[in-house]
Structure 1
Amino acid sequence: MRIKSLLITTSLCMYALLAGAQQQPHIILILTDDMGSADISCYGGTGPQTPNLDRMAAEGARFTQYYSASPICSPSRAGILTGSYPARWNLTSYLQTRKGNTACEQADFLRAEAPSIARLLKSAGYRTAHFGKWHLGGGRDVKNAPSITAYGFDAYSSTWESPDPDPLLTSGNWIWSKPDSVKRWDRTAYFVDRALAFLAANKGKPCFINLWPDDVHTPWVPDETSMDRMPKGGESQRQFEAVLAEYDKQIGRFLDGLKQLGIDQQTLVVFTSDNGALPTFGFRSGKFRGTKLSLYEGGIRMPLIAWQPGSIRAGQVDSTSLLNATDLLPTFCRIAGIPAKKLPKTDGTDRAGVLLGEPSSKHRTFFWEYGRNDSAFKYPNGRNRSPSLAIRDGKWKLLVNADSSSEELYDLGKDPSEQNNIATMHPATAAQLKSKLLGWYRALPKLKTSPDVVRGDE
């Protein structure tokens, strides 16, 4: 163990010594859209096979206790980019029309002054790019969202739900349109091409890339025939399986592309999902209860794979370390050699050692909120509908509504599927966790209205 720890420390010191030089590692964050905890075969999935993602895990490290910052798109992405719980930036649900955002008691976009992984890495000499779905403001009737460049990105290509949609993807005023130059089923390939081209164009320079495809989000459009039959897409299991198969293929093509560029050993790739799946077809959440829109494990416990040949020992499975999306900002900054004293205050913790292969049993406490009212947050229905607040504290997880109702306590070490509410069996633990959780929630900042113009490119 001491030798292993020494190797991890040596790797981190080498990253730090190389900070500011061209040998800093490239860092690529692949964020899948609505991928369930068991969509990947090596995570126990019983659905379609994912040979390329399985290969990525076999060549790198797989983590089984990683959590997104929210069970829905926009706040989960904000948690990654800022290293902060998204409610601190008044993001509670997916960003939509101004009226819809008001109903969700949230801002219209992520404010440009929020911390940003891209901005921090750019200050350390990185070239930065965002290719894929943004969904942190812009689109619909929100016209004053900051440009993607305002968050520190040098280059970008994004979809309709952004302030700067790529015209090749957005010929119509919707998520996709049949006349789009890049068809819906070719988008992931397009974003992969853009990412590889960016790396090739910046040879010799460290790069940070958000590769955030909008697969495997519904509605699914796997081919031209499907679009002709269902112009707005569908939600059948057959369509999902076809989209997942193509997505898996493109992830494999991206990893192969890194090897062809000769930079695979200089590139850290981290793969995860923004939130859980919906629909699940009974298998996409695996053993976990819950779906997208739920604070049960199926909505927030996500796959996480870290890959860097030569730096991350192949075939590792870490079921010990507790990780959160908010950890990615300080972790990537540590790997890039940015001193901790130069980082903004966030909710995340530097977990670079964990990513590079040293499991940690460190006690962690995480918080979530989703469901500020019953009108804008109607789903999911039935047993997957969770209380609106959650805390994980070590092995314990407590869920409760903001008004203190519907208290649920689970021992995730014994009951990861959250089947047995044991709040009445452990009243002292439940009371302590509830007090901590409600205290956190009540201390969140009040909603701030958005300024009229905050364009980063003006």
Structure 2
Amino acid sequence: MLLSLVSVQILSAAEKPNILFIFSDDWGWEDLSCHGHPYIKTPNIDRLAAEGTDFYRFTVASGVCSPSRTAVVTGQFPARFSIDGHFAWVPSNAKRGMPDWLSPKSPMLQRMLQKAGYRTAHFGKWHLANNMIPDSPLPSEYGYDEYGAFNCAGEQMPYHEDSMHCIKFIEKSVAEDKPFFVNLWIHEPHTPFHTQPKYQWRFRDLPEDDNIYASVLSHADDRIGEVLDALDRLKVTDNTLVIFSSDNGPARASKPGTLELKYDTATGAGWGLNGAKGITGGRKGYKATVFEGGICVPFIARWPKKIASGKINKVSPISAVDLLPTFCALAGAEYPAGYKPDGVVQVKALLGQDRNTERTKPLFWKMPVKVNSDKIGGFHWVTYATMNKKWKLLANHDLTHFELYDIVADPMESTDLKKQKPEVVKELITSIKGWQQTLPKEPTGDVFSTLRNQK
């Protein structure tokens, strides 16, 4: 029997669900065998879909990594923190008007859950700072009881050890009879592509670039399977909400090229971007855009006997900024004084009790691009976007060029309706201008590296 929102909120401490949030990196919507990929095999993620619900209308808060992750942990649009692009080395951050890290004083999902009695951990990619900024705060300063990470200051955890550490943390939490919240933020399929012979052998009949891409996803799927098996072994599967998603859409090289090795300071050597073969399921654009190919990503949720099994939800518009309020509602966690999420509680949608197709609270996106209206082309010209009710509007930096879609009836953004619906365009442009007024002009606080002072 499915729990109502009210009954979820009054669960006793012993009944609070564990939460395992698996966040992949650049995983395309169709890069799953359960989504029809022609050769990639993901049996463990497929298991989640078979035992849970597959939500087709989940969107992240950015087309790139760091702002997307900021939205998850804060429940607010990343532009509120002046985080519009990925955290890079200090000169690049300064040039783009960005901080050097997300402030540890920001509202944090994991801290709210800690106060509700949860043990919290983060394993895998960080990228709320950068490993090239040695004085950036460690993940332990953000409200995690334990962590192992890369793309952060300090020691870089080998990317493939994420599941091992995750399982050890879950075992410890179960032994202590404490509910747990774990971010399992896996590397794949971000570049460099780190191949292993075992996984390449599985796809030995494919061309080299397809073989590389399929093998790294298969490796990630196996590690996810290890964690799911541990939940079974520890007999906590039935009281654990597991979500699999991605921080943005798949990466693609700007033009065809040869496969080459590249080196990443956080994860080591592997194959470069010309091995990227991600598929968006027909959605426009890829990573670094806010067309649906860049922000509409896999979102599969399993919670046995609570979330319906083997179902597909093609209607509920869930956003990454909804995760914090939703997880807090499930955990009985309270917001800190003065905090207001940009998202909404989506427990009813998860439980199949609310299948509304339109959002009542608007979403906004901001990307670090500046393209004049006479230079518009491709998918990378959009600076601002908003979705309100059934409408999605995309606009360039000075709001002189825009496109309008009925995102409910036309999720592939195939028919631009700006000429047919000028009144809707005017309303949404006005809402973007109003949102702009709520954003900071520049980053503030203790979010700058001392490297900025060096000539």
> What residue is the counterpart of 2:225 in the other structure?
252
Once the two structures are superposed, residues 166-206 of structure 1 have per-residue CA deviations (whole angstroms, 9 ceiling, x without a partner) of 3x53xxxxxxxxxxxxxxxxx34x21111111111122111
Question: CA–CA distance in 2 between the matches of 1:360 and 1:148?
Answer: 36
Equivalent residue runs for 1:21-32 within 5 Å: 21-32=13-24
State the alpha-carbon separation in 1 of the partners of residues 447 and 438 from structure 2.
27
Q: For 1:164, give the aligned amino acid.
A: G
State the partner residue of 1:368: 365
Please give the alpha-carbon distance, in whole angstroms, between the structure 1 residues aligned to 2:33 and 2:40: 7
1:134 aligns with 2:126: yes
Evaluate the alpha carbon distance shift between residue 447 and residue 429 of structure 1 in structure 2; reply closer, same or farther with a 3 A threshold.
Answer: same
- Structure 1 residues 241, 282: closer, same or farther in 2, change over 3 A? closer
Q: Is the 8 A contact 2:27 2:278 kept in 1?
A: no
Aligned positions of 1:378-393 closer than 5 A: 383-393=378-388
Conserved in 2, the CA contact under 8 Å of 1:92 and 1:105? no
Q: Counterpart of 1:81 in 2: which secondary structure?
A: helix
**CA contact under 8 A between 1:270 and 1:307: conserved in structure 2?**
yes
Question: Identity over the aligned pairs, expressed in percent?
Answer: 35
Deviations 1:277-331 (A, max 9, x none): 0128776111100100011000001111111222222112111211110111111
SS in 1 for 2:15: coil
- Tell me how far apart the structure 1 counterparts of residues 318 and 116 of structure 2 sit (CA, whole Å): 25
Matched, 1:202 2:199: no
Task: Check if 1:264 corresponds to 2:203.
Answer: no
Matched, 1:440 2:441: no
Q: Given the alignment of the two structures, is residue 275 of structure 1 paired with residue 248 of structure 2, yes or no?
A: yes
Match of residue 188 from structure 2: 215
Q: TM-score, normalised by structure 2?
A: 0.85
Q: Which sections of structure 2, spanning at least 5 residues, go unmatched?
A: 201-207, 254-275, 451-455
- Higher mean alpha-carbon deviation, 40-49 vs 326-335, is at 40-49
Q: Residue 41 of structure 1 contacts residue 50 of structure 1 at CA under 8 Å; is this kept in 2?
A: yes
Whether contact under 8 Å (2:371, 2:396) holds in the other structure is no
Deviations 1:210-251 (A, max 9, x none): 100111111212126999xxxxxxx93321111011112222
Shift of 1:103: 2.1
Match 2:305 to one of 310, 323, 333: 310
Contact 1:330–1:343 (8 Å) recurs in 2: no
Whether the 8 Å CA contact 2:199–2:219 is kept in 1: the answer is no
Letter in 2 for 1:239: I
Over 3 Å counting, the alpha-carbon distance change for 1:267 and 1:454 in structure 2 is farther
- 1:321-343 C-alpha deviation (Å, 9 max, x unpaired): 11110111111011101246868
Given the alignment, which residue of 51, 63, 79 partners 1:59? 51
Shift of residue 454, structure 1, vs aligned partner: 9.8
Q: Classify 1:443/1:83 alpha carbon distance in 2 versus 1 (closer, same or farther; 3 Å).
A: same
How do residues 11-50 of structure 1 correspond to structure 2 at under 5 angstroms? Answer: 13-14=7-8, 16-18=10-12, 21-50=13-42
Q: Report the alpha carbon displacement of residue 444 of structure 1 after superposing the two structures with TM.
A: 0.9
Aligned counterpart in structure 2 of residue 83 of structure 1, from 60, 75, 83: 75
Q: Which residue identity lines up with residue 200 of structure 1 in the other structure? A: E
What residue number does 1:162 align with?
152
**Structure 1 residue runs without a partner (length 5+):** 170-186, 228-234, 376-380
1:399-432 deviations in whole A, cap 9, x for unaligned?
Answer: 1112112211112233322222221121111111
Matched positions, count: 414
| Contact kept in structure 2, 1:109 and 1:137, CA below 8 Å | yes
Matched, 1:335 2:326: no
TM-score, normalization: structure 1?
0.84
Q: Give the structure 2 partner of residue 192 of structure 1.
A: 163
Q: Secondary structure at the match of 1:28?
A: strand
Cα-to-partner distance string for 1:334-367 (whole Å, 9 max, x where unaligned):
1101246868212011111212222331533211
CA distance in 2, matches of 1:323, 1:396: 15
